[in-house]
A and B are shown apart, each in its own frame.
Chain A
Amino acid sequence: MRSRTTVLIIIALLFATSASVANPAGEGDADRDYTCGGSCHGDPALSSPSDGTVTVSVDPLSFSGTATAVHVTASGMSLSGNRLLGVFLLSSTSGNDDHPEDHGWNILQDPNGGTHNYVEVVVPPSGSVTLTWVMLAPAQSGIQTLFTEIHHGSNPNSNNWAYSALTRGYTVDVQPVPENLPGFAFDWTPETRVTGDDSPTVVGTRNTTSVAVQWMLEGEWVPHDAEVTGEGDEWHAMLPATIGETRIQYQVTTSNGDFSIVQPWLTVATEPAAFDGEIWGARVQALAFGLLVMAFLLSLQARLSPWDGRPELDHTEEVEAAETPPEPPGLEPADDYWSRLVPSEENPGWLWDPVEEEWVADPNNPPEGGE
């Protein structure tokens, strides 16, 4: 009884344990506090300092409500097989309310075209990647601090550790905005387009009387001018459609006669066309395929199995052969066939068959000339 209880307890404990599994495929872009980087990945048993180098480039002076670019370059880190790197942009590291938007910033665009403070990217073979967040500075003037943190794996990674690095804080002095300074509207965010869509890109502005837009493909050096129409606070820029993996960047210049502000480069966020399948369609199609496969295989089984009427089980020929009357005695191919043949002195080498009434070559004395 005691041993049985012990075994049951052990089994219960085994079922109670949960697997500790990292997420080698990442968690996806999201809005995250530093807790994600500091809790699980902060456990010394589960993490280790990164061997990479992170540099942050941000203008130390900004004006309230104007667009500011934060460039984060990560390089030299070990990576897992899928070369995935997670990067945080934070305004504090206290574990809660660390999102820049908790401190008044407004993310216009993250490096992947969204509006998140945590993004995941695949590091190119060069081992270095630069990510850019474009944010509107807080309306409240004052000193702001920005941090970045990176997460990545390693290959090999026998301990299943997460590798992380947190930068020092970078300060940005947010000054009151000069009156009548043209810029992006506070409530405007770059829209996401579907692959192949070349409809005009809407740009929301304030204090602006004219807008100029330049665009270029990622990696290009010389930008192209885009046609812009519109007035007031809404403008439409004609940018080419995004196809495949190509990324298009564009830069907006807002002017009003008194000021002309060149805004940071933005990326045309592109998403694949919506998948047109639905669950009931998938279910019906799957079931239809399954039934068709079954019908084919079952008919094949029946065809190969010994069923009544199958050719190899049809003994008609044997029965007919058994019922066929025997050949007449003189016609049946008897063993004494050669004995009935009569030699002829007139025709040496030939034998006379009295039954068939024909001459047959004598195998023991072939006719001359080999006929």
Chain B
Amino acid sequence: MFGAATFHAAMAEVVVGTMVLATICAVGCTIATIFPNIAGGRLSSERVMVTMDKASIAGALLGLVFMPIAALSGSFAADNVVNNALLYNKFVYTGLAFGFWASFVIGRVRLGPGVWQHRSLSVLQGATAAMAMLMTTMASSIGGKLVRGESLFDIMPVWLPSDSATVLNPVFSAVLLLVGIASLVVVFRLGPKAERISLD
């Protein structure tokens, strides 16, 4: 049998691995959209674009499925106790990563593969994937700090804060949660309908 920490490490590796693939492919699609002639036009060729598009959505979907499992197993590995700022920030960054990845996947599914043909949408998708990866690596980097006391990101001169946490009052967090849910309802039900973009 194995402990929750071991299971969490395995799940986290799946999440990070698949999302690295998704990010590389998403950023590749964005670059190909902005600079169609880069690499002699090979990057923006239909074959490469279709491959990168499918790899990015598949990687993001797989990571998104495993992310709650990783978060829950990590929570159990910590005995469901948050007793320091690092652990608290790990939760917060995981939530942010989930938000960014979910937005990336929903955007790609709603707008279709034609999203990469639309310059501004392509930039938005690439930036979303990059931010999502940043949040994911922050969460995993904190895991390294908690378990091994060090992280690859220790060598970075500037990095997002992790040693100190902004702990919101739970009531205020709950209000924010309701605001978030209401915002999503507004976006989906009352806002402009994003339509699937037809491929040229």
Chain A residues within 8 Å of B, Cβ to Cβ = 23-26, 81-82, 274-310
Who on chain A is nearest to B166 by CB?
A285
Q: Which of B102, B118, B180 contacts A304 (CB 8 A)?
A: B118
Q: Which of B81, B93, B150, B191 contacts A279 (CB 8 A)?
A: B81
30 A-B contacts (beta carbon < 8 Å): A23-B148, A26-B149, A274-B83, A275-B83, A277-B88, A277-B165, A278-B170, A279-B82, A282-B87, A282-B91, A283-B75, A287-B177, A288-B174, A288-B179, A290-B96, A290-B102, A291-B184, A292-B99, A293-B96, A293-B103, A294-B102, A295-B184, A297-B103, A301-B103, A303-B192, A304-B118, A307-B192, A307-B194, A308-B192, A308-B195
Chain A residue contacts of B99, Cβ below 8 A: 289-294, 297
B122: min CB distance to chain A, Å: 10
A290 and B176 in contact, given A282-B92, A301-B121, A301-B124 (Cβ under 8 angstroms): no
Who on chain B is nearest to A307 by CB?
B192
A200 to B177, CA, bound (A): 44
Interface residues of B in 69-86 (CB under 8 A from A): 75, 80-85
Chain A residue contacts of B85, Cβ below 8 A: 275, 277
B129: min CB distance to chain A, Å: 11
Q: Which of A291, A304, A305 contacts B195 (CB 8 A)?
A: A305
A351: min CB distance to chain B, Å: 50
- Contact in complex: A281, B149 (CB < 8 Å): no
A292 to B96, CA, bound (A): 9
Complex interface: stretch among B14-22, B29-37, B104-112: B104-112
- Contact in complex: B92, A295 (CB < 8 Å): no
- Contact in complex: B149, A82 (CB < 8 Å): yes
- Contact in complex: A286, B96 (CB < 8 Å): yes
Residue B193 is within 8 A (CB to CB) of chain A in the complex: yes
A310 to B195, CA, bound (A): 12
- Contact in complex: A291, B177 (CB < 8 Å): yes
A5: min CB distance to chain B, Å: 26
Residue B168 is within 8 A (CB to CB) of chain A in the complex: yes
Chain A residue contacts of B116, Cβ below 8 A: none
**B174-200 interface mask toward A, CB cutoff 8 Å, 1 = contact, 0 = none?**
101101110110111001111101000
Chain A residue contacts of B149, Cβ below 8 A: 24-26, 82
A284 and B183 in contact, given A304-B120, A306-B197 (Cβ under 8 angstroms): no
Q: Which of A276, A285, A291, A301 contacts B107 (CB 8 A)?
A: A301
- Contact in complex: B192, A292 (CB < 8 Å): no
Q: Which of B83, B179, B195 contacts A306 (CB 8 A)?
A: B195
Who on chain B is nearest to A284 by CB?
B173
- Contact in complex: A285, B92 (CB < 8 Å): yes
Residue of A82, A281, A292, A297 most packed against chain B (CB within 10 A):
A297
Chain B residue contacts of A296, Cβ below 8 A: 183
Extra inter-chain contacts (10) besides given A295-B183, A301-B110, CB under 8 Å: A25-B148, A25-B150, A277-B165, A281-B167, A282-B82, A285-B176, A286-B98, A295-B187, A296-B183, A298-B184
A304 to B63, CA, bound (A): 26
Interface residues of B in 142-174 (CB under 8 A from A): 147-150, 165, 167-170, 173-174
A221 to B198, CA, bound (A): 79
Chain B residue contacts of A297, Cβ below 8 A: 99-100, 103, 107, 124, 128
A289 and B96 in contact, given A298-B103, A298-B107 (Cβ under 8 angstroms): yes
Chain B residue contacts of A280, Cβ below 8 A: 170
Chain B residue contacts of A301, Cβ below 8 A: 103, 106-107, 110-111, 121, 124, 194
Who on chain B is nearest to A23 by CB?
B148
Chain B residue contacts of A281, Cβ below 8 A: 82, 167-170, 173
